Structure 1
Amino acid sequence: MQTGYYAATGGMVAQFNRMDTIATNLANANTAGYKHDQLITGDFARLYKEARDTLPLNNNTTESAQFLNRSLSRVPQITDSYTDFSQGTLQKTDNTLDVALGKEGQFFAVQTPQGIRLTRDGLFTLNGDGKLVTKQGYEVLPNDYFKSKSTITINPQDEIVTIDRNGLISNNIPGSTKMVANKQLMIVEPQNLRMLKKEGDGLYIPDPAEELTPIDNSGNVMQGYTEKSNVNAVNEMVALVEANRLVGMYQKAMDAQMNDMNRDAIEKIAVTHR
């Protein structure tokens, strides 16, 4: 078996996966609140060492190790992936319904057809019914949603709408400058960010085992701002070029294994002497 060929193939597949992730990051470089993904590359040997003690070989682990293909064990593998939830740059927009969170790890809660989802994208707007919604039309939830089951409604005719640092929305009485309290945005802070799953449109599926608890005094809500993506386009482009070059190197290695070495084998080893 030409182990070098399989090692190069595994390395090429790993770089293809890496390029897909980088392409997704670059495509969302200008998406508000987007958090970039990262892959971790390892090898089969490490995975084997982590799992061999749990294999159903109680007394044969040592003996079975002699059959481990040492060349194949070094094939690069995508061993894990994670999302970088670090804070993106805050950009001032001065739009009344643009809201950003000044602390990483906190999210707005929205209602989707699939259930409650979390997002960092605070570019909100009003739909035809005066409900506060996301760009995709998902209703933004208030902190009393689990009790009231109601959403946030703002009269489009209100000239003054303010959102304080805790997410409390206030609007003026029509024809006056007197402000009255409305609803408060639901801000949540999951305990384990690694349990969040991306769903698209800047949404995250919360851990079903963790109860969502609204934060009444987050102190991190900023009206008139938006959080930009935390993708560093320069770093991603450098990584894309690196991955592309590695694919080329693996391709040459595969070609050498299948063509040059096989040709040598045919021309030299298979020579018969009369």
Structure 2
Amino acid sequence: MSDTLYTATSGMILDMKRQEVIARNLAAVNIPGFKREYVLSQEFKNALSTELQDDLNGTTPGEVRVDFTQGNLRNTSRPLDFAIEGDGFFEMTTNDNRTLYTRNGAFFVSSDGKLVTSEGYPVSGESGEIQFSTDDNLATLQVTGDGLLRVRQGADANYMMKEIGKIKISDVGDKNKLVRLSANYFSVADGNMGQIKPQEPEKFKLMNNFLESANSEPVHDMVAMIECQRQFETGQKLLKMLMDQGSAERAAYGA
């Protein structure tokens, strides 16, 4: 019975972990660039020594991983909204000089003319921070596929395109080295900075007037949540039955 008890308990723990992850995915479904999480399901015995594998067949909560597949791109008609089609991350620097990475390209221009995130973090360009001047017409802002920002200057008949700077798109060699800090921001530990390099231009296309939607699937997640709840309830019933059975056996033997 102890083997069955262990199996039921470890399965319930895994269901609880899945419910936590699904709840986070559902909460972030409207955040641009959000990347859903999932739990690696693995047999607990696979993590045990060979001698113990035949004795236990329960499961244990697996590692929580991030699904970095691209979400759908949606038109926003807002020139300061950017989306990466393909592989790569926007890079920015915090006030305490930390480097962060995100797929959320909802940017703004600060009071001093810098391209920033909603938190005020300056967006990294290939030559440093991206700076606009007060006479730049942001309504005419364009971006090339490789990230070069330009605005239109001059009269309608004689306008020219002024280059502002190029947005830096970074590649992360092993995305499992990214550490999630929030719904949208990731960092890389100092020992893994070698994983970061400029993304190759042929591997992405940058667009403005677009945002990447979260890659969560609300309907799928709701169904999965219901299934997890049912499995957890089944485990509870089995656990109660086993505990009651154990109590009855102890009573029968006068324990």
Query: Do the two structures share a fold, i.e. TM-score over 0.5?
Result: yes
Match of 1:186 among 148, 168, 174: 168
**How much does 1:78 deviate?**
2.0
Distance (Å, rounded) in 1 between the aligned partners of 2:229 and 2:41: 16
Q: Which amino acid aligns with 2:241?
A: A
TM-score with structure 2 setting the length = 0.88
Match of 2:82 among 94, 99, 104: 99
- The CA deviation string for residues 80-126 of structure 1, in whole angstroms up to 9 with x for no partner, is 332111111110011011010111x3111111235111110001011
The count of residues paired between Structure 1 and Structure 2 equals 247
Does the residue aligned with 2:79 lie in a helix, a strand or coil? coil
Q: Mapping of 1:67-216 within 5 angstroms?
A: 68=52, 70-71=54-55, 73-103=56-86, 105-112=87-94, 113=96, 115-145=98-128, 151-159=129-137, 160-173=140-153, 177-206=159-188, 207-213=192-198, 215=200
CA distance 1:69–1:167, shift in 2 (3 Å): closer
244-253 or 166-175, larger mean C-alpha shift: 166-175
Does the residue aligned with 1:249 lie in a helix, a strand or coil? helix
Are the aligned partners of 2:110 and 2:116 in contact in 1 as well (CA < 8 Å)?
Answer: yes
Q: Greater CA radius of gyration, 1 or 2?
A: 1
Q: Which amino acid aligns with 1:222?
A: M
**How much does 1:5 deviate?**
2.8
Are the aligned partners of 1:143 and 1:214 in contact in 2 as well (CA < 8 Å)?
Answer: no
CA distance 1:230–1:124, shift in 2 (3 Å): same
Does the residue aligned with 1:231 lie in a helix, a strand or coil? coil
CA distance 1:247–1:163, shift in 2 (3 Å): same
**How much does 1:165 deviate?**
1.3
Does the residue aligned with 1:260 lie in a helix, a strand or coil? helix
How many percent of aligned residue pairs carry the same amino acid? Answer: 25
**How much does 1:229 deviate?**
0.4
Are the aligned partners of 1:143 and 1:184 in contact in 2 as well (CA < 8 Å)?
Answer: yes
- The CA deviation string for residues 157-215 of structure 1, in whole angstroms up to 9 with x for no partner, is 42232212111011234777322111100011222222222111411113323243254
Does the residue aligned with 1:78 lie in a helix, a strand or coil? coil
TM-score with structure 1 setting the length = 0.82
Distance (Å, rounded) in 2 between the aligned partners of 1:2 and 1:17: 23
Q: State the match for 1:55 in structure 2.
A: none
Q: Which amino acid aligns with 2:175?
A: L
Structure 1: tracts of 5 or more residues without a match: 53-64, 146-150
Q: State the match for 1:61 in structure 2.
A: none
Q: State the match for 2:44 in structure 1.
A: 44
